[in-house]
Homo-oligomer: A and B are copies of this chain.
Amino acid sequence: MSFFQDIKAVKRADPAVRYGLEVLFFYPGMWAIWFYRFCHFLWKIHLKFISRLIMTIIRWLTGVEIHPGAMIGKRFVIDHGMGVVIGETAIIGDDCMMYHGVTLGGRGHSKEGRRHPKLGDNVVIGAGASILGPVTICKGAKIGAGAVVLNDVFEDETYVGQKARSVITK
| Chain A residues engaging chain B, CB cutoff 8 angstroms | 12-16, 18, 22, 25-26, 28, 48-49, 52-53, 56, 59-63, 65, 67, 80, 82-83, 85, 87-88, 99-101, 103, 105-106, 109-111, 115, 126-130, 132, 142-151, 153-154, 156-169
Residue of B nearest to A109 (CB): B15
CA distance A7 to B81 in the complex (A): 28
CB < 8 Å: which of B126, B156, B164 contacts A160?
Answer: B164
B103 touches A127 (CB 8 A): yes
B85 touches A82 (CB 8 A): yes
Task: Sort A-B residue pairs by CB-CB distance and give the 8 closest, nearest first.
Answer: A147-B164, A159-B164, A162-B162, A15-B111, A130-B145, A146-B148, A158-B169, A82-B83
Residue of B nearest to A88 (CB): B16
Assembly of this chain: how many copies?
A: 3
Nearest Cβ on chain B to A54's Cβ, whole angstroms: 11
- Residues of B with C-beta under 8 A to A110: 15
Most chain B CB atoms below 10 A, which of A80, A148, A156: A148
Nearest Cβ on chain B to A130's Cβ, whole angstroms: 4
- Residues of B with C-beta under 8 A to A132: 126-127, 145
CA distance A16 to B99 in the complex (A): 24
Nearest Cβ on chain B to A170's Cβ, whole angstroms: 9
B164 touches A25 (CB 8 A): no
CA distance A100 to B164 in the complex (A): 18
- Residues of B with C-beta under 8 A to A159: 164-167
A60 touches B28 (CB 8 A): yes
- Residues of B with C-beta under 8 A to A63: 59, 63, 82-83
